[in-house]
Chains A and B, each alone.
Chain A
Amino acid sequence: MCLAVPARIVELHDATATISVDGILRDVDVSLIEEPRLGDYVLVHAGFAIHRWDQSEVEELQAIRGATDLRETIT
């Protein structure tokens, strides 16, 4: 019921931010999270950031994705 995707804040505006999902840029609303900063990783659902991750949490996600070899990424 809840498609939410990890994204990184690359630009901050007033109540919105431009986020990047693997290079795809989109504007989302950041009113629901506290003190968003440039470079923060956030969880995005339906055009809103609903959670802000700290560094260790981001590393955990990356470790899980690496462990499942899910990404055969060609950049």
Chain B
Amino acid sequence: MKRDRILLAHGGGGSLTRELIETVMLPRLENSLLKPLDDSAVLVMGNSGYAFTTDSYVVTPYIFPGGDIGKLAVCGTINDLAVMGAQPYWLSLSLILEEGLPLADLQTIIDSVHAAAAEVGAQVVTGDTKVVERGKCEGLYINTTGIGKITVPYWLGSANVKPGDAVMINGPIGEHGVAVMSRREGVAFQTSVTSDCAPLWPLVKTILDTGARIRAMRDPTRGGVAGAVCDIARASNVGIRLFEEAIPIGGEVRGACDLLGLDPLTIANEGKVLVFCGAKDAESVLAAMKSHPAGRQARIIGEVSARPEGMALLRTAIGGERIIDMPTGEDLPRIC
């Protein structure tokens, strides 16, 4: 079958997205700074390291339980910087507005942008506004870029993880994805789950301040925890084993996944961070996370080994084992 058009799944953050990047973007844009494909690019100028990232936000609906596209955009960018060990400083805000967008909604969203940035002391220092005809976008789309200063004297990155490392997460998974999904047409269900959208820099700073050598951090957004650990296992060429019983997940998230036939490990998070560190540092890092409001429910959820190289596995609740596969990209409600 010919693959000559972009499919929705190409934007899912899963294997199709990766394929698109590897076959279309990388060959044409090839350079050593892009190649690692981490959450941010790491730039060195003089004696300082900076992290630089960009993201676009097309979430529908643009106001959802727990936040809106403005908060999402700023947090997403702050978090992409934070996971590289960078303190966020400067953001750009580029808006594509649909003709007919209520002004009141735009004001709410910009207020959210400001609040989220202010929470970590970052500022929006440049921006752009475009308007497209009614129907050409869904309310509004946002693109942000961010620049942060790397605050640790070592590199974090998905290629750094080593056998023996511990894997941790700061709280229950799947909340953002389920909250947004519940408002989508066609899959409507009611839930009290709200998006976990939050800026992670303050938590990350607490982690970095322990002095522990952190190998890598990743915010598991589109593609969920599954996508994140698959990426890192591949980049570091290690085996990552997660323990099903250790992974925190709320009852309603699990219920939504049961109802729709989805795997919670593939659902997006916007306020969670996966932390990889040496085994000897695990306890102190965990304690630091738990001492912070954004990390009260932090857990050690897995470990890294040499094999199977490049793969992520799940030790299931009944003691069996199975592969955690890279999600393909679109979460479709199923009957089977």
* Interface positions of A (Cβ within 8 A of B): 1-3, 5, 7, 20-26, 44-46, 68-75
Contacts and interface: CB of A to CB of B under 8 A. Distances in A.
B334 A25 contact: no
Given A3-B261, A69-B317, A23 B255 contact: yes
Contact of A1 (B249, B250, B336): B336
29 contacts: A2-B335, A3-B261, A3-B334, A3-B335, A3-B336, A5-B258, A22-B252, A23-B192, A23-B251, A23-B252, A24-B189, A24-B190, A24-B252, A24-B259, A26-B259, A45-B335, A46-B335, A70-B317, A72-B245, A72-B246, A72-B247, A72-B249, A73-B249, A73-B250, A73-B251, A73-B254, A74-B172, A74-B251, A75-B250
List 8 tightest A-B contacts by C-beta distance, closest first: A22-B255, A21-B255, A25-B190, A23-B252, A26-B189, A24-B255, A22-B251, A5-B258
A16 to B, nearest CB: 13
Contact of B191 (A3, A23, A72, A75): A23
Contacts of A68: 317-318
B259 A21 contact: yes
A25 B259 CA distance: 10
Contacts of A2: 335-336
B30 to A, nearest CB: 44
Nearest to B334: A3
Contacts of A73: 249-251, 254
Interface in B235-279: 245-252, 254-256, 258-259, 261
A21 B245 contact: no
B255 A74 contact: no
Interface string B187-213: 011111100000000000000000000
A69 to B, nearest CB: 6
B92 interface: no
Contacts of A21: 255-256, 258-259
B29 to A, nearest CB: 42
A5 B258 CA distance: 6
B160 interface: no
Contacts of B189: 24-26
B297 interface: yes
A72 to B, nearest CB: 6
B297 A74 contact: yes
A7 B322 CA distance: 28
Contacts of A75: 250-251
Interface string B132-148: 00000000000000000
A69 B247 CA distance: 13
Contacts of B318: 68
Given A24-B189, A25-B189, 12 more contacts: A5-B259, A20-B255, A23-B191, A25-B190, A26-B190, A26-B259, A46-B335, A69-B245, A69-B317, A72-B249, A74-B248, A75-B250
A72 B251 CA distance: 9
A3 B332 CA distance: 13
B290 to A, nearest CB: 14
Interface in B151-197: 172, 182, 188-193
B335 A74 contact: no
A4 to B, nearest CB: 9
Contact of B254 (A1, A3, A22): A22
